[in-house]
Amino acid sequence: MSPVAVSHDAIVIGAGFAGLYAVHVLRDKQDLDVLAFDAAGDVGGTWYWNRYPGARVDIESVHYSYSFDDELQQEWHWTERFCAQPEILRYLDHVAKRYDLRRSIRFNTRITSLTWDDAESVWRATTDGGETHTARYVVSGAGTLSVPKKPDFPGVEDFAGEVLMTGNWPHEPVSFENKRVGIVGVGSSGIQAISEIAKTAGHLTVLQRTPNYATPIANAPTDPEQEAAEKADYSAIRDASRNHFLGVPYSEVEPSALAVDPQHRRRVFDDRWNRGGFRLFIDSFGDILFDKAANDTIADYIRERIHERVEDPATAELLAPRGYPYGTKRPPLETDYYEAYNRPNVELVDVKSNPIERVTSTGVRLADGTEHEFDMLILATGFDACTGPLLAMNITGRNGLKLTDHWADGPQTYLGLMAAGFPNLFMITGPQSPSVLYNMPLAIEDHVDFSVAAIQYLREDGKAVIEPTPEAEAAWVAHTNELAQATLLPDSPTSWYMGNNIPGKPKRVLVYLGGAPAYRAKCDEVVSNGYEGFELSAAPSNTPALAQA
């Protein structure tokens, strides 16, 4: 006999930045009966799982934080310009306590399927504990980078030493002392981890396939004067952030790297390099992501800086990215990353020309038969980004339509928020929204606010169901693909932005590249035109009203 379903107004997936805010707004502002689920043991989302050494935010903490409550942003003190993972987790713990959120969250519980029940107009969620819960609305805060990529080389289970994943790091302290450590992957996670692990490992071998364009983060302790000035002007800072492509209040971008002379260009690059963070990427020249010749100027600059920092010219050349444009793989930010290769205990191995064939009981064997022996193997090999977390939930919409089938050729969404055939399922920072190309907490607030306003609109209008039309969805998909074609992004051979880090995943752009301000204007227009592109309908007459409606 199937278990009795527990009914709610809304189910929230996840207890990271998105899930916490969604619970707060739906429960405390809309007065709905809400239950959230998270497979993790506590709040934090990505910051719960990614606790590897060196894990740190790369948008300034003062910007990478909630803006919805001025008291919260005034009372919280960040100790560093770019805070490390433990401090972000403390912040989310503070948020959970401050708004009493944990009582509405079921931890250590994974949603294993979500099925739309057309007769009742509700979602049925099953959990790995065998329970069933129903709700009219589902708000997914399942994240964008929360499903680690499965190793695409065999033998990991044969390794006799420890295997660690940056995306699912142990809670207990890990010692690297006197150990031979191997690490695969030089994305943002690998680069942060390598810089730290190099300091204490007996021997660290970095197995690098595609070198990355990493640039300095320029972290520093919080300057009290600057903090006071920012807090005095926080709402203006948030406005400026929301009106910026990446969601940060930077305003010094110049139109074209090709319109200025080489001395001017060098001055701008040096200035942004020294000031750190994403300034070089997003606040130098506006055409670097659109014009290959402009991109070449910054790619040359970064290669030159790498050669200055790495003592051995052959190692420096191996670390210098070539053959794909800067910014088409998500640029990592670093502290002393390149200097790590000047240490005698750090070795760089090229696994592009000589790929990993398999993991053995003692280490890693490369295609030419070379063996590298390790006591510990670290996989920093990335994520099934953006679509992975949603597809992992086994979602079935109207008429038995599976999300895996609907998205077989890549994501199909309207506004990156909802999909046709999947009513009342709000995908916070979903594929084809600005999400990872925007400031996540702000992107999350925008999406949760949109979803909650839609639910409120339905309730006030005597309706219960919202769903995009197939036409609106098709137009959005075409628009996001068209935007990507105008950039250099499709030129990257292995970028998770395009889904091509995962063998067999359709090569489609996973983010909206028109920038957050244009995206928000489109969402506002949709709302002011009475939810243009959506169909709004009543629930069948025999179904119960929402608990508090």
Question: Exactly one of 26, 89, 181, 186 binds ligand N01 (CB under 6 A); which one?
Answer: 186
Q: What are phi and psi of 116, to 5 degrees?
A: -80, 130
Select 34 or 198, whichever has its Cβ closest to ligand N01.
198
Q: Does 219 bind ligand N01 (CB under 6 A)?
A: no
- Least spacing, CB of residue 145 vs ligand N01, in Å: 4
Select 372 or 406, whichever has its Cβ closest to ligand N01.
372
Question: Exactly one of 325, 382, 410, 514 binds ligand N01 (CB under 6 A); which one?
Answer: 382
Question: How many CB atoms neighbour CB 166 within 10 A?
Answer: 26
For the segment 158-177, give every residue that binds ligand N01 (CB under 6 A).
166
Report the SS3 class of residue 127: strand
Question: Exactly one of 12, 184, 427, 442 binds ligand N01 (CB under 6 A); which one?
Answer: 184
- Least spacing, CB of residue 201 vs ligand N01, in Å: 19
- Least spacing, CB of residue 341 vs ligand N01, in Å: 15
Name the E strands within 47-189.
105-106, 111-117, 122-127, 132-140, 162-165, 180-184
Question: Are 347 and 361 a contacting pair, CB within 8 Å?
Answer: no
Select 27 or 303, whichever has its Cβ closest to ligand N01.
303
Q: Does 188 bind ligand N01 (CB under 6 A)?
A: yes
Per-residue DSSP letter, 138: E
Among 53, 381, 376, 55, smallest CA distance to 210 is for 381
Select 79 or 178, whichever has its Cβ closest to ligand N01.
79
Q: Does 498 bind ligand N01 (CB under 6 A)?
A: no
Q: Which residues are CB-contacts of 270 (< 8 A; sequence separation ≥ 6)?
A: none
Q: Does 327 bind ligand N01 (CB under 6 A)?
A: no
Question: Are 137 and 455 a contacting pair, CB within 8 Å?
Answer: yes
Q: Does 57 bind ligand N01 (CB under 6 A)?
A: yes
- Least spacing, CB of residue 149 vs ligand N01, in Å: 6
Question: Exactly one of 15, 316, 351, 472 binds ligand N01 (CB under 6 A); which one?
Answer: 351
Q: Which stretch binds ligand N01 (CB under 6 A): 178-186, 337-345, 400-408, 444-452?
A: 178-186
- Least spacing, CB of residue 17 vs ligand N01, in Å: 12
Question: Exactly one of 168, 456, 494, 537 binds ligand N01 (CB under 6 A); which one?
Answer: 494
Q: Does 441 bind ligand N01 (CB under 6 A)?
A: no
Cα distance between residue 45 and residue 142, in whole Å: 8
Q: Does 496 bind ligand N01 (CB under 6 A)?
A: yes
Provide the token pair at 309: 């920092």
End-to-end CA distance of the chain: 32
Cα distance between residue 350 and residue 116, in whole Å: 48
Q: Does 87 bind ligand N01 (CB under 6 A)?
A: no
- Least spacing, CB of residue 217 vs ligand N01, in Å: 8
Q: Which stretch binds ligand N01 (CB under 6 A): 124-132, 184-192, 256-264, 272-280?
A: 184-192
Q: Does 421 bind ligand N01 (CB under 6 A)?
A: no
Select 73 or 85, whichever has its Cβ closest to ligand N01.
85
- Least spacing, CB of residue 542 vs ligand N01, in Å: 46
Cα distance between residue 300 and residue 320, in whole Å: 9
Select 190 or 276, whichever has its Cβ closest to ligand N01.
190
Q: Does 192 bind ligand N01 (CB under 6 A)?
A: yes
Q: Does 209 bind ligand N01 (CB under 6 A)?
A: yes
Burial level of 471, CB count in 10 A (0-12/13-18/19+)?
exposed
- Least spacing, CB of residue 200 vs ligand N01, in Å: 20
Provide the token pair at 219: 């972290």
Q: Are strands 105-106 and 34-37 parallel, antiparallel or unpaired?
A: parallel
Question: Exactly one of 78, 137, 341, 383 binds ligand N01 (CB under 6 A); which one?
Answer: 383
Q: Which residues are CB-contacts of 80 (< 8 A; sequence separation ≥ 6)?
A: 61, 87, 219, 220, 221, 222
Q: What are phi and psi of 127, to 5 degrees?
A: -115, 165
Question: Are 432 and 476 a contacting pair, CB within 8 Å?
Answer: yes
Q: In the beta sheet, which residues pair with residue 285?
A: 254
Q: Does 52 bind ligand N01 (CB under 6 A)?
A: no
Question: Exactly one of 268, 501, 508, 523 binds ligand N01 (CB under 6 A); which one?
Answer: 501
Question: How many CB atoms neighbour CB 478 within 10 A?
Answer: 10
Provide the token pair at 128: 């790995």
Report the SS3 class of residue 514: coil
Q: Which residues are CB-contacts of 216 (< 8 A; sequence separation ≥ 6)?
A: 273, 274, 276, 333, 334, 335
Q: Does 210 bind ligand N01 (CB under 6 A)?
A: yes
Cα distance between residue 367 and residue 354, in whole Å: 6
Q: 393-432 burial by CB neighbour count: b if 16+ within 10 A, else e?
A: bebbbeeebebeebbeebbbbbbbbbbbbbbbbbbbbbbb
Select 188 or 195, whichever has its Cβ closest to ligand N01.
188
Question: Are 22 and 112 a contacting pair, CB within 8 Å?
Answer: no
Q: What is the contact mask toward ligand N01 in residues 109 to 148, using x (rule: CB under 6 A)?
A: ------------------------------------x---
- Least spacing, CB of residue 151 vs ligand N01, in Å: 7
Sign of CA dihedral 292, 294, 298, 304: positive
How many chain residues touch ligand N01 (CB under 6 A)?
Answer: 29
Binding site for ligand N01 (CB under 6 A): 56-58, 145, 152-153, 166, 184-190, 192, 207, 209-210, 330, 351, 356, 380-383, 436, 494, 496, 501
